[in-house]
A and B are shown apart, each in its own frame.
Chain A
């Protein structure tokens, strides 16, 4: 019986991992391509959630989940074109400062526009409730969320590994100078990747709004988790991020099963252990320009 309960927590942890993945993958992609740790990533997540509430009030929940990421992706293009682009080849501390500052500005802007109090958000009644599979309980909404994450994951993987777009991006990650020598401008590719990354963060915001708190500091909360996931997985590694998200979800679930008070600390302990024995992260690749 105890074993079954534990297994249930492991499965729930995997679902939770999908929840972290949506944020962490964008963060990792932007880092791989641009060499920038986007600390403003959480702000796009928060904006996605707030935008989805505004849209949901007028057009309903489905439209909100579809449109809010698009709106935020457009904002991401502006962000890339006018700010981030200047910092790809700069000292890494500069984009770090820029995005950190932007995150603070965004949080205060949200506070000014929507207030400090958390905003109410609900999902359609039809999506509430849980599904019992065998002995295991799953939230219906989270299963749907997991399916969406799986589709997006497959899409991103195909884009990066099976298309000519992806070939340029991958070449750009390894040898931007060679790509330039072949007469290919990397900038439109980077802009697309940034738009994709922040769009995914916004989608996560829209999807989590009904089950998490929608408040100004939500971006700051999630960026910490996302960053931990990316570091555990290995900066820049696609499968590393996937693996790390699942691992963090499972470790957190199992810890809460035995010692709830240590639940939030567990992922930091995991990060500490991984970094101690494998500083590059679980599947961290050697990327020439960062060595």
Chain B
């Protein structure tokens, strides 16, 4: 695929140089899609799963003849950082002539790509970044958001903590990842805790490249909280969890963000507490089971939630193009805004809310299985019930129109 792309690119370049742009257009009956996700840095491990999930979806769709008889051609690149992400997004639109953009996990990079999308009037399916402001103050009509926003994570996690009596009257010390996502998460978490009778007694901003948490662990001990809450992201959570287990502090841990890959990397016996998630490979639907089986067959391990979300997102885009019979971005936006329901391989279907373009879907929590119950090294998480419950509306845990400042 890579060499093919290079040959195409070289061909395109030489044709352009010779002044035959018509030839280039005639050559490409493929649907080109620009896909950006972090492949290095503290979110790089998640990005690797993202690319695997995306590739699986593309292979499946192309094996069935593509979309409208045209094969999909997804170019996946490392988004590196917010500045590089927007440069690459612009380049993909200008030079690679992609039809639309997909991807991202890093909220700060998603924000800059959203600006590129709005400026160029091109669709951006923002898959994995969770910051509230992206679908709030910074929202725009060219961007749709697939992953659950931090408010949903906090509400899902918070309900579980409330149930276990870990918020009301409790003193909570939190660690927060020092970038857009962490700030947003800390804000939502603090609002939830305060509204439910808890107190945040300390909140420490932690740089994303922090590898040693020992000075912060000492501060936690000095503060003597009832609960330690983490608003960390990516690798940070793994490092924190390992070192928290190393020091063996007695306070229970609750986290508002943990991806399955970060949990897997923590190692047995290190992880504890209750955590929220958007999907887990034990979701009991035929669709999820088939996806997990296919992924296991190909990669020898269960898919992580980022593999799932990219897989589902590509299928959503494919369905949107087939049903509208076009790649025209305006028509696709109009289609999504009619709120059609999509299969997310979960018990309940989801839909994009028309006024903030956020996908409404179930969330879950998980805890850690007691020692000795794990079947293999991927199996130490105890997957919990769906939030909201099947009889409650999906909007229950999302931001309301009154809370959300999004204006398209």
Contact = CB atoms under 8 A, between A and B. Distances in A.
B39 A116 contact: yes
B212 interface: yes
Nearest to A221: B211
A63 to B, nearest CB: 18
A116 B45 contact: yes
A137 interface: yes
Given A120-B267, A130-B248, A212 B239 contact: yes
Given A12-B218, A256-B216, A264-B210, A122 B204 contact: no
A70 interface: no
Interface string A102-118: 00000000000001111
Contact of B247 (A139, A253, A263): A139
Contacts of B41: 217
Nearest to B262: A118
B48 A260 contact: no
Given A122-B269, A212-B242, A117 B264 contact: yes
Nearest to B209: A264
B214 A5 contact: no
Contacts, number: 121
A220 to B, nearest CB: 9
Given A9-B215, A116-B44, A261 B209 contact: no
A260 B247 contact: no
A115 B48 contact: yes
Contacts of A129: 247-248
B191 interface: no
Contacts of A29: none
A42 B48 CA distance: 22
Contact of B261 (A16, A117, A137): A117
A213 B215 contact: no
A116 B40 CA distance: 9
B206 interface: yes
B313 to A, nearest CB: 20
Contacts of B249: 130
Tell me if B's interface is mostly helix, strand, loop or mixed.
helix
B3 interface: no
A15 B212 CA distance: 12
A280 interface: no
A118 B265 contact: yes
B215 A12 contact: yes
B212 A139 contact: no
A31 B246 CA distance: 34
A166 interface: no
Contacts of B338: none
Contacts of B304: 117
Contacts of B289: none
A139 B218 contact: no
Interface in B343-394: 377
Contact of B377 (A13, A120, A211): A120
B205 interface: yes
Given A212-B239, A215-B235, A261-B178, A16 B214 contact: yes
A240 to B, nearest CB: 22
Given A115-B48, A120-B264, A221-B209, A211 B219 contact: no
A118 B45 contact: yes
A128 interface: yes
B215 A261 contact: no
Given A8-B218, A130-B247, A264 B207 contact: yes
A121 interface: yes
Contacts of B207: 260-261, 263-265
Interface in B206-262: 206-207, 209-212, 214-216, 218-219, 221-222, 235, 238-239, 242-243, 245-249, 261-262
B246 A141 contact: yes
A137 B245 CA distance: 14
B222 A260 contact: no
B337 interface: no
Contacts of B222: 5, 8
B78 to A, nearest CB: 11
Given A122-B267, A122-B270, A137-B221, A117 B48 contact: yes
A184 B245 CA distance: 52
Contact of B265 (A117, A137, A264): A117
Interface string A132-154: 00000101011000000000000
A65 B184 CA distance: 41
Interface string A207-235: 00011111101000100000000000000
20 contacts: A5-B218, A8-B218, A8-B222, A9-B218, A116-B39, A116-B44, A116-B48, A117-B265, A118-B262, A119-B265, A120-B267, A122-B267, A130-B247, A137-B218, A137-B247, A210-B242, A217-B41, A260-B215, A260-B216, A263-B215
Interface of A: 5, 8-9, 12-13, 15-16, 19, 115-123, 125, 128-130, 137, 139, 141-142, 210-215, 217, 221, 252-253, 256-257, 260-261, 263-265
Q: Which 10 A-B pairs have the closest CB atoms?
A: A120-B267, A118-B265, A129-B248, A256-B215, A122-B267, A116-B48, A117-B45, A261-B205, A260-B204, A253-B215
